[in-house]
Amino acid sequence: MTEVIDGNAVAEDVRESLRGAIETLTDAGHQPGLATVLMSEDRASATYVSMKQRDCEELGIQSFHVEVDVDAPANELYDTVSDLNANDEVDGILVQHPVADHVDYEEVVRRIDPGKDVDGFHPENVGRLVRGDPRFRPCTPHGVQKLLEHTGVETEGADAVVVGRSNIVGTPLANLLARKADDGNATVTLCHSRTEDLAAKTKQADIVVAAAGVPELVDGSMLSEGVTVVDVGYNRVDGEAVGDVEYESAKEVASAITPVPGGVGPMTRAMLLYNTVKAASQRSGIDVDL
């Protein structure tokens, strides 16, 4: 029987596990706070931001929100980030991607206080992750690791294939899975659009993580019996949410697989809350169990 990995249930576990830490921090006078910044007219981005605010409210994390007009000069966004850096009530800052076309998103990320960079995208935090000492794990890769852990999938010694090398998903995940740690120690192959014979790579894997943004790129014929499949992809095809894995054929051969929706998506949101609580603990010096 193939196990369908329930991302909603694991995300709920993560949220529940944060309640004690949030209470401890709040009782000690440091309620965790997350600031979201939106500089976009994209409706999906506005929805993501409002879901993140709702998640915060449900757990007793303070939420702050700033909207910057899409026509405003880049400096207005930089000033917003500076203000949030200086605001002691704000532990985490998330600038929703994409921002207006005339603004360099990478420059915005560089201006976020690395101690408040709960996305884990600041170069200092990327460097720490690559050196094996992450301050904040980027939310989606961390969510994937949590799903593997909850499913009882051993990464040590496993052959893991990550399809996609973006800075927000594939590359940090490959680093995390390969690092010398209990939830790492995998032998990782990082594939991308120039990879020759993707199927030959995925076929030899114990764990396949698809994060390419190509609907149903990986199908059952490319997988070996007993593989664990994590589908990060989220694509809209004819109004439907479709992953990067062809679910039905992959499910035939996999021992465990994440659905889309209801797999990685809820985990990304949950791990943002985790990073916010971690930031609050680090900034306040109050130790909590995480």
The binding site for ligand NDP (CB under 6 A) comprises 140, 163-166, 168-170, 191-195, 198, 211-214, 217, 232-235, 264-265, 268
Least Å distance, CB 232 to ligand NDP, is 4
For residue 166, say whether it is annotated as part of any ligand binding site: yes
Active site residue 91: no
H-assigned helices in 65-168: 74-86, 105-111, 123-130, 139-151
Least Å distance, CB 25 to ligand NDP, is 26
Cα 226 from Cα 256, distance rounded (Å): 8
Of the residues 55, 91, 113, 119, only one is catalytic, namely 119
What are the b/e assignments for 78-105, b being 16+ CB within 10 Å? bebbeebeeeeebbbbbbbbebbeebee
For residue 164, say whether it is annotated as part of any ligand binding site: yes
Active site residue 145: no
Least Å distance, CB 140 to ligand NDP, is 4
For residue 165, say whether it is annotated as part of any ligand binding site: yes
- Residue 23: alpha-carbon gap to chain centroid: 24
Taking residue 139's Cβ as centre, other Cβ atoms within 10 Å add up to 25
- Decide if 243 contacts 234 (C-beta within 8 A): yes
Least Å distance, CB 265 to ligand NDP, is 4
Active site residue 27: no
Q: Which is nearer to ligand NDP, 45 or 282 (CB)?
A: 45
Question: Where is 210: in which H helix or E strand?
Answer: strand 207-210
Nearest to 124 by CA among 103, 109, 104: 109
The residue assigned the tokens 């990304």 is 268
Which residue's CB atom is positioned nearest to ligand NDP?
166
> Which residues line the annotated binding site for NADP(+)?
164-166
Provide the annotated active-site residues: 52, 96, 119
> Which residues line the annotated binding site?
164-166
